[in-house]
Structure 1
Amino acid sequence: MNALRLSLLPLCCLLLTPSAFAADASIAPSWSANASKGRYASRCLSPAPERGLAPAGTLLWGTRRSWDGGQRTDERRSVLVSIDNDNFVVPAPNVKSVSLRRGRLVASPDATYGLVGTVFRGTSGDGKSVDVALCGAEPSHQDPDVMWYRIEAWNPMAQQWENPCISNSYVQNPRAMVVAGVWDSGGQHKDAPGKLTLACELGAISKCIDWGYKPWGERNGQSLAGLHQACTRMARADYCGDGRSHALEYTTIDMYDSLGVLSRTTETSTSWDPARASFEAAWAPDGATCLARTRDGSSVNTILAECPGRFSADPAPDLGNGDHCVVGREGMTPDTVMLRNRSYGRP
Structure 2
Amino acid sequence: MKKLFSVFVCLLVNSMSLASEPKRDSARAAPERRGVPPREAPCKGPQDPQRISWPQGTMLWGMTRQSAAEERSSVLTAVALDRVTLGGAPLKDVRLENGHLTAPNLPAEDLSGAIFQGTASDGGPVEVAVCGAEPSQQDPAMRWYRIEIWDKQKESWENPCIATQRAPNPKALAVQGLWDKQGSRHEEPGKFTFACENGAIAKCIHWGYKPWATKDGQPLTDMHQACTRMARADYCGNGRSHTRQDNVIDMYDSLGLQARTTQASTNWVPEKASFEAAWSPEGATCLARTRDGQDAQTILKECPGRFEARAKDLGEGDHCSVRLKGKHADTVLLRNHSYGPSPRI
Whether the TM-score (by the shorter chain) exceeds 0.5 is: yes
Shift of 1:300: 0.8
Contact 1:56 1:202 survives alignment (8 Å): yes
Structure 1 residues 16-72: Cα deviation after superposition (integer angstroms, max 9, x where no partner): x4x32269xxxx937589489955642111345554223332100000012xxxx73
What are the Cα deviations for residues 193-226 of structure 1, in whole angstroms up to 9, with x where unaligned? 1111000010000000000000011111100110
2:13–2:202 contact (8 Å) kept in structure 1: no
For the pair 1:179 / 2:182, whether they are aligned, the reply is no
- Residue pairs, 1:43-58, within 5 angstroms: 43-47=42-46, 49=48, 51-58=51-58
Give percent identity, aligned residues only: 51
Match of 1:329 in 2: 324
| In structure 2, C-alpha distance between the alignment counterparts of 1:267 and 1:10, rounded to whole Å | 23
Secondary structure at the counterpart of residue 82 of structure 2: strand
**Change in CA separation of 1:295 and 1:39 when aligned onto 2, cut-off 3 Å:** farther
Deviation, structure 1 residue 157: 1.4
Match of 1:4 among 7, 16, 30: 7
Structure 2 counterpart of 1:265? 261
Q: Does the C-alpha gap of structure 1 residues 271 and 48 become closer, same or farther in structure 2, counting only changes over 3 Å?
A: closer
**Equivalent position SS for 1:230:** helix
Deviation at 1:337, TM superposition (A): 1.1
Partner residue in 2 for 1:20: 21
2:255 partner amino acid? L
CA separation in 2, counterparts of 1:158 and 1:33? 16
Aligned 8 A contact 1:137 1:147 in 2: yes
1:170 pairs, out of 157, 163, 166, with 166
How far is 1:97 from its partner? 2.6
- Give the structure 2 partner of residue 343 of structure 1: 338
Q: What's the CA shift string for 1:84-136, capped at 9, x where partnerless?
A: 011225567573031111011001x3344721111111000111001110011
Does residue 119 (structure 1) correspond to residue 122 (structure 2)? The answer is no
**Alignment partners' CA distance in 1, 2:9 and 2:94:** 31
Shift of 1:330: 2.4
What letter corresponds to residue 121 of structure 1 in structure 2?
Q
Q: Are the counterparts in 2 of residues 175 and 201 from structure 1 also a CA contact under 8 Å?
A: yes
Q: CA–CA distance in 2 between the matches of 1:166 and 1:180?
A: 21
- 1:202 has 2:198 as partner: yes
Contact 2:185 2:225 in 1 (8 A): yes
Please state if 1:294 is matched with 2:290. yes
Q: Bigger shift: 128-137 or 81-90?
A: 81-90
Amino acid at match of 1:29: S
Contact 1:32 1:90 in 2 (8 A): no
Cα distance in 1 between the residues matched to 2:273 and 2:327: 24
1:191 equivalent in alignment to 2:187: yes
Q: Check 1:48–1:3 CA distance in 2 against 1; reply closer, same or farther (3 A cut).
A: closer
Spell out the pairing of 1:1-347 with structure 2 (5 A cutoff): 1-8=4-11, 12=15, 14=17, 17=19, 19-21=20-22, 29=26, 31=28, 34=31, 39=38, 41-47=40-46, 49=48, 51-66=51-66, 72-88=68-84, 90=86, 95-107=91-103, 109-112=104-107, 114-314=110-310, 316-331=311-326, 336-345=331-340
Task: Indicate conservation of the 8 Å contact 1:78/1:124, yes or no.
Answer: yes
User: Which of 89-98 and 55-64 deviates more?
Assistant: 89-98
- What amino acid sits opposite 2:209 in the alignment? Y
Runs (4+) off by over 6 Å: 332-335
The runs of 5 or more residues in structure 2 that have no matched partner are none
Q: Is the 8 A contact 2:248 2:338 kept in 1?
A: yes
CA distance in 1, matches of 2:341, 2:157: 38
Distance 2:154 2:265 in 1: 46
Stretch of structure 1 that moved more, 289-298 or 88-97: 88-97
Mark the CA change 1:337 to 1:33 in structure 2 (over 3 Å): closer, same or farther: closer
Q: Is the 8 A contact 2:12 2:198 kept in 1?
A: no
Q: Tell me which amino acid in the other structure corresponds to 1:186.
A: Q
- Separation in 2, partners of 1:151, 1:175: 7
CA distance in 2, matches of 1:188, 1:232: 9
User: Structure 1-normalised TM-score?
Assistant: 0.89
Preserved contact between residue 282 and residue 340 of structure 1 (Cα < 8 Å): yes
Deviation at 1:313, TM superposition (A): 1.1
Could you say what the CA RMSD is over the residues aligned between the two structures, in angstroms? 2.6
**TM-score normalised to structure 2 length:** 0.89
